[in-house]
Homo-oligomer: A and B are copies of this chain.
Amino acid sequence: MAKEGGFAGVIAPVLTPFGEDGSPDGERFSEHAQWLLATGCKALAPFGTTSEANSLGLDERMELLEELVDEGIDPAKLMPGTGTCSLSDTIVLTQHALDLGCGGVLMLPPFYYKGPSEDGLYRYFAEVIEGVGDDKLKVYLYHIPPVAQVGFSLPLIGRLVREFPDTVVGLKDSSGDWSNTAAILAEYPQLEVFPGSEVFLLEGLKHGAAGCISATCNVSATAIRQVYDNWRTPDAERLQGHITAIRKAIQAYPMIPALKALIAHYRSDPGWAKVRPPFTPLPEADAMMVVGTLAKAHGFTLNFAEAA
């Protein structure tokens, strides 16, 4: 059975727009966040991998989060990424998110040092949780081995869930490996588990997943929400096929620049395409290709009037 309550639903790791001078653009950011909530997202995970969060500074992350809350977004719907490679910076960001009232945090493992022991990772999370020391803290583990290289083994997840049952309440699995997601769902039914791609949404919901947290929710939350809302109906397979096709068309390009190019196009706002190094913007010809392919093959468009 699909999991309900908590953050269950479709969640976008919110893209981070940058201004002319290269600093994060809080106004475009909160406008995009509100549009996402108005068009299918149950909640938001700002400062995910897709958000270029790891290219942002500590202060930039905190200011952007404050911007979302200041602009009236319910912090209970926010699950900001707070995991850095530094134990102390992770505590700073997590405490800050909690102080703002965020419903949860999405936490990467410390990812600089490779091949850490299970015990070392366990101690890291124990020190973060005890360092914050607040029963309101809800941690969602962020497993993304293709990027972070360091990940969460099944035994590590188990140890954390047993030791901190009221704090470690969920996991995002961006391994891209359905068998890993299925194993976590089977082994730890108490967790809210989110596949990191909507490609696994229907299958996930059938196995008890809570929804999905996926890069492409930044541009196709409405269609993804259709699968979430109708997964028990005869139409589910067709709806899933549609969102899988859109995802595959987008991921033929570098994901973050492609998503930003799509938003820039449909908002008629070229500044939206800006990425922070080490990313580079999608070349103009590729941007036209991804817009054209999606529109032609999948009837894809973005309607920014919807949120108004």
Which A residues fall within an 8 A CB radius of B?
Answer: 22-23, 49, 54-60, 85-89, 92, 109-114, 116-117, 119-121, 123-124, 127, 146-150, 276-280
Q: Which of A114, A147, A277 has the most CB of B within 10 A?
A: A277
Q: What distance in Å separates the Cβ of A122 from its nearest Cβ neighbour in chain B?
A: 8
How far is A59 from B84 in the complex, measured between Cα atoms in Å?
A: 14
Q: Are B279 and A116 in contact (CB under 8 A)?
A: yes
Q: Could you tell me if A55 and B147 are in contact, using CB atoms closer than 8 angstroms?
A: no
Contact with A60, one of B88, B276, B278 (Cβ below 8 angstroms):
B88
Main secondary structure of the interface of A (DSSP, over half): loop
| 13 further A-B pairs in the complex, CB-CB below 8 A; given A57-B89, A113-B278 | A54-B85, A54-B110, A54-B113, A55-B110, A57-B86, A57-B88, A58-B86, A59-B88, A110-B278, A120-B277, A120-B279, A124-B278, A127-B277
Closest to A111 in B: B112
Determine how many copies of this chain the complex contains. 2
Least Cβ–Cβ distance between A112 and chain B, in angstroms = 4
Query: Which of chain B's residues have a CB closer than 8 A to the CB of A56?
Result: 86, 88
* Residue in contact with A85 in the complex, picked from B55, B113, B120, CB distance below 8 Å: B55
